[in-house]
Amino acid sequence: MLRILLVVLSSFFAALATGAPRPVLVLGDSLSAAYGLAPKEGWVALLDERLAAARPARDVVNASISGETSAGGLARLPALLKEHAPALVVVELGANDGLRGLPLAQLRSNLAAILEAVRRAGARAVLVGIELPVNYGPQYRDGLRELYRGLADEFNVPLVPFLLDGVALDPALMQDDGLHPRAAGEPRVLENVWKVLEPALRALPAR
């Protein structure tokens, strides 16, 4: 009995010393907050399920808020980094900045500050790009694409070029507002992220 107790205690303290893998933090807006859906139907919840089944398992913290802007995400980030100590931060912001027609220079500055804060915290980042409806004009839309590409190059972080690739133009996969995916579209959204996120996760330290 004593031997069994010693083995259990030894395993317990070994686990404490090793520690669980640090989580993935998703800093996003309504596209990551499962707007109009049950929370379990969103791509972040689907990612959480996938990583929970991985070996080793890794938690996902969804810090996404509907209506969030890059300025709001930047303001919330320090507390999130301190509380969760993530290994990797998925940065999915910019859609609301764009829909409000805010200057691209302002968006770029905020996203650059977010990526710098993630780097200073000893975490890695994946940047997620978005696209705006065609009525915003080619100059703004092209500038937005270049903004994400430029930041990914500057900070040497992986880039998901367009979160809703293969979803945004399919009415069967989009809600009636034309901006947010239906539940049927969320698995495709996850795959768009996963093909970039999975190699970034493999490159992380195990603990």
What are the per-10-residue average pLDDT scores of the chain (207 residues)? Answer: 38 47 98 97 98 94 98 98 98 96 96 98 98 86 96 98 97 97 98 98 83
Q: 57 in a domain, yes or no?
A: yes
In the chain, how many domains are there? 1
pLDDT at 65: 98
- Residue 180 is among the residues annotated as catalytic for this protein: yes
- The distance of Cα 202 from the centroid of its chain, to the nearest Å, equals 16
Q: 17 in a domain, yes or no?
A: no
Q: 154 in a domain, yes or no?
A: yes
Eight-state DSSP code of residue 81: H
Yes or no: say if 78 and 41 are a contact pair by the CB < 8 Å rule.
no
pLDDT at 192: 98
Predicted confidence (pLDDT) per residue in 143-160, tens digit: 999 999 999 999 999 999
Q: 34 in a domain, yes or no?
A: yes
What number of residues does the chain have?
A: 207
Eight-state DSSP code of residue 56: S
Q: 153 in a domain, yes or no?
A: yes
Q: 194 in a domain, yes or no?
A: yes
- Residue 176 is among the residues annotated as catalytic for this protein: no
Catalytic residue among 10, 11, 30, 59: 30
> How far is Cα 9 from Cα 37, in angstroms, rounded to an integer?
44
Yes or no: say if 90 and 28 are a contact pair by the CB < 8 Å rule.
yes
> How far is Cα 128 from Cα 93, in angstroms, rounded to an integer?
7
- Residue 84 is among the residues annotated as catalytic for this protein: no
pLDDT at 175: 98
CATH number at residue 128: 3.40.50.1110
Q: Is the pTM of this model over 0.85?
A: yes
Angstrom distances, CA of residue 206 to CA of 22, 55, 120, 191: 9, 10, 20, 23
pLDDT at 207: 63
Yes or no: say if 170 and 180 are a contact pair by the CB < 8 Å rule.
no
pLDDT at 133: 83
Q: Tell me how far apart the terminal alpha carbons of the chain are, to the nearest angstrom.
A: 32
Q: 182 in a domain, yes or no?
A: yes
Q: 7 in a domain, yes or no?
A: no
Domain region containing 173: 22-202
- 90, 95, 96, 101: CA torsion to nearest 10: 140
